[in-house]
Structure 1
Amino acid sequence: MKKSTILLVLLTSFLLFSKHTHAQDYPYAVGLKFSDESGPSFKYFIDKTDALEAILGFRSHGAVFTGLWERHVPILDVDKLKIYYGFGAHIGAVGDNPNPKYDNTLLLGADGVVGVEYVIPEAPIAISLDLDPRLEFGHGPRFLLAPGLGLKYTFK
């Protein structure tokens, strides 16, 4: 709860103190995603609203690759602030886990994403805050909802 409050205050600060600019959106970005499976991410816009994002998430005793399609839509009449939503899938593995239920398990499932992203004006930095609902099929049907924070370096 404390982490969520800090992230909400940070995002609100960016919204309140942002200024309008009319620069083009970035074509691609690299960065880090922090959630229950944290790791590097890569985002590529295939047009003005649609992007593909790849995340290699690491967790204790395993790793997961997630691929997402995302639609970005401007909100609140704030330049460089967008809400995004989309879907995708993940595949990975968990091994040597202290919990025998998840030891040496294939992870495979469907993912969704909904969040907000803000590109800092005149800086090559994008910050995102999202929720990633996912269905895990690899070790029995299970629903997970993971909040995440993304920090990306954008390229022009």
Structure 2
Amino acid sequence: MRPSFKHLFATLLCVLFFVSAHAQTYVISSSSGANIRKGPGTDQPVLAKIPQGSNVKVVERTNSNWVKVSYNSQTGYVASELVTEDKGRNSNNNNARNASASNGSNGRNNKASSQSSRSSSASSSSNKKMGIGLRFGDPAGITFKKYSGNTAWEINLGRSYRWGYRYDDRFYRYDRFDNRKLYDYKGHSAGPTTALQVHWLKHHDISGANGLQFYYGVGPQARFTNVHYRYKYDDREYYESFTDLDLGVDGVIGLEYTFKEVPFSIFLDANAFIEVFDAPGWIHGQSGIGVRYNF
């Protein structure tokens, strides 16, 4: 059964809401605050100074030493040891600073150690290079993705839907069958349709939703269907086959969520396929949902 676009869109919104609702907030734990820099390194320019106790949102974990954060509508990099998970004690920060310096220092060190451990485990998924998996929808089959920074190449290969072509009309549109007095169309059968999509994609982080990205892109698509005609000519019945080939261009948008602890991603997408050959100008909607293993 063909998936409903409304159901896929609703699922897309639910995933976005769920991940956003569970995005964690972090706090600057260093007593001297932290510098937010343009890149992950002490040689990078300082964009701003973040005071101690300020809440920041982790956008991406670059490696075990640096995290990409969002603070006051500004995005940059902060040393991971200065960023710890906010446990809801921000309102007591002033009292905590007046407590024993040694106890406060030990607490910050323990948090930093825990944060560093989580960063190491998350970096494997955030630094993924390739992914392969299964796609359900149109087309349904195998999906492969190669990442390069915030761009990617995607290939989807699988079964697709026939979009209601009236092959009885198409029969008479072919030059050798255009004489209706000579050729009497009797029927047809059509095999499964195979679709090949190739997309160039641009990815963007969603602020406050660690691991969730939206993407958009464009690329070619080719579709193949084997059609078998039955017709009469000169009072004799004949069978003939041909391959229905559709070529065109896709425009695609989607959401992709990458898990922190396991090397898997899930995705939802929708695209408009504009035919260039053999029915120029026809526009068809497609959509899908799937999972990839990243390595």
Q: TM class, shorter-chain normalised?
A: 0.7 to 0.9
- Describe the superposition over 1:41-74 as per-residue Cα deviations: whole angstroms up to 9, x where unpaired: 10001x2111000110213612011111001111
Please give the residue correspondences for 1:104-115 in structure 2 after superposition, counting only pairs within 5 Å.
Answer: 104-115=243-254
Contact 1:64 1:107 in 2 (8 A): no
Which structure: larger Rg?
Answer: 2
Any conservation in 2 of the 1:57–1:63 contact (CA below 8 Å)?
yes
1:154 matched to which residue of 2?
Answer: 294
Identity %: 28
Give the structure 1 partner of residue 135 of structure 2. 33
User: Comparing 139-148 with 1-10, which one deviates more in the overlay?
Assistant: 1-10
| Correspondence 1:44 to 2:158 | no
Partner SS, residue 96 of structure 1: strand
Partner in structure 1 of residue 20 of structure 2: 15
Q: 1:10 to 1:79 in 2, by over 3 A?
A: closer
Which residue is equivalent to 1:132? Answer: 271
1:56 aligns with 157
1:27–1:97 Cα change, 3 Å: farther
Give 2:283's aligned residue.
143
Which consecutive segments of 4 or more residues in structure 1 shift more than 6 A? none
Give the distance between the partners of 2:294 and 2:267, measured in 1 at CA: 12
- Which residues in structure 2 correspond to 1:56-95 (within 5 Å)? 56-59=157-160, 61-95=192-226
If asked which structure has higher relative contact order (CA below 8 Å, sep 6+), I would say 1
Give 3-state SS (helix, strand or coil) of 1:15's partner.
helix
Normalization by structure 2: what TM-score? 0.46
Shift of 1:14: 3.5
Which structure: greater helix fraction? 2
Q: Deviations over 1:14-36 (max 9, x none)?
A: 33235566223310000112222
1:14 is paired with a residue whose SS is helix
Which sits farther off after the overlay, 115-124 or 136-145?
136-145
Q: Which runs of 5+ in 1 are unaligned?
A: none
CA distance in 2, matches of 1:42, 1:97: 32
Distance 1:57 1:5, change over 3 A: same
Tell me the C-alpha RMSD between the 2 structures. Answer: 2.3
Letter in 2 for 1:82: Q
Q: CA offset at residue 2 of structure 1?
A: 4.2
**Alpha-carbon distance between aligned partners in 2 of 1:151 and 1:77, rounded to the nearest angstrom:** 23
Could you say what secondary structure the match of 1:95 adopts? strand
Q: TM-score, normalised by structure 1?
A: 0.83
What is the rounded CA distance, in whole Å, between the counterparts of 2:197 and 2:17 in structure 1?
A: 28
**Structure with more of its chain in strand, by fraction:** 1
Number of corresponding residues? 150
